[in-house]
Amino acid sequence: MKKILLCLLWVPLVLSPGLLPAQEEGARTLDALQKKYSGLKDYTVDVNVHFDVEGFKAPDMQAKLYCKAPDRMKIESKRIFFLPKEGGTFNPFMFNKEDFEVKLLERLTVEGRNAVKLKLTPKKRKPNAPQDFILTVDTDRNLIREMNASSLDGREVKALIEYGNFSDFDLPTRIELHLDVQFNESRELKDFGQSTQPAKRVTGRVDITYSNYKVNIGLSDQMFKETKSAVSGER
């Protein structure tokens, strides 16, 4: 009996050396990502969004994006501007290892470079926020190449990211988003007198291109105080 118990006690000890490095590798990957961009204080960039989403007829939208580390963002646009929430903007500091349970899913090769696939589960759940992220990270260059975000209500967003080098920082030049989301029409947008349509799954692609980067130009905190989201009402 004692032998069996001893054997059982040994099992986790035998397995853990394999598990722990895997967990640590995930956390190390996130650390390396943040370290790579530690010198990135702020940037501005021109954004063009092209929608190819079912039932969503919109012309290309342009705006100027202002970002400041770690998580401040401002959009300037003369017209109405829609930017996908998940994957629409690049923030290398959003995947802080302290905020997620990190799991290494696999090691792979992406375009001839070493990469890892990580599953990140937020430690604190926020309403409407994804329940987990799956990142494909190029570990040779410390770049997120692909991000999949999925939510409890079945929303799925996949982002494929291409980079260019600007002032010694690898920053996105194009993000290709694949959306599979649930869409409910709001009462206010509907024609009065027509029957309400049920929620519908909407799939499509959004191409976001970034140009004219200006990096570390010393954006002041003041300019981020007036957030310009129409939905927050602070227009």
Partner 1 sequence: MRLFWLEIYKTFSRWRTYIGFGFIALVVILTEVVMKLSAVEIVNRMMRSTEKDFLIFGNVLNGWFVTSFIMNTLHIHIPFLIALVAGDIVSGEATSGTVRFLLIRPPSRVRIIAAKYVTTLFYTTGLVIFLGIVCLLPGLALFGGGDLIMHHYGKFGIVFIPEAEIPVRMLLAFIAAIWSMTAVASIAFLLSTLVENSIGPIVGTMAIVIVFLVIGNFPFDFFGTLKPYLFTTYMVFWQQFLDDPISWQQIATSAAILGVHSFGLFFIAVGAYARKDIKS
Give residues in contact with partner 1 (CB under 8 A): 54-59, 63, 75, 77, 79-86, 88, 128, 155, 157, 179, 181, 183-195, 197, 200, 228-231, 233, 235
**Distance of alpha carbon 116 from alpha carbon 38, whole angstroms:** 21
- Which region, left, alpha or beta, applies to residue 7 given φ > 0 means left and ψ of -120 to 50 means alpha? alpha
Nearer Cβ to partner 1 (186/222): 186
Shortest Cβ 112–partner 1 spacing (Å): 34
**Distance of alpha carbon 95 from alpha carbon 37, whole angstroms:** 12
Shortest Cβ 135–partner 1 spacing (Å): 19
Q: Spell out the residues 6+ positions from residue 113 whose beta carbon is closer than 8 angstroms to its own.
A: 138, 139, 140, 141
Nearer Cβ to partner 1 (5/231): 231
Q: Which amino acid is at 103?
A: K
Nearer Cβ to partner 1 (13/80): 80
Shortest Cβ 143–partner 1 spacing (Å): 24
Nearer Cβ to partner 1 (53/137): 53
> Nearest 5 degrees, angle CA 135-CA 139-CA 140?
145
Nearer Cβ to partner 1 (162/185): 185
Shortest Cβ 57–partner 1 spacing (Å): 5
> Nearest 5 degrees, angle CA 105-CA 111-CA 112?
90
Shortest Cβ 221–partner 1 spacing (Å): 20
Count of C-beta atoms within a 10 Å radius of residue 56: 13
**Strands, DSSP E only, in 100-150?**
100-110, 113-122, 132-138, 143-150
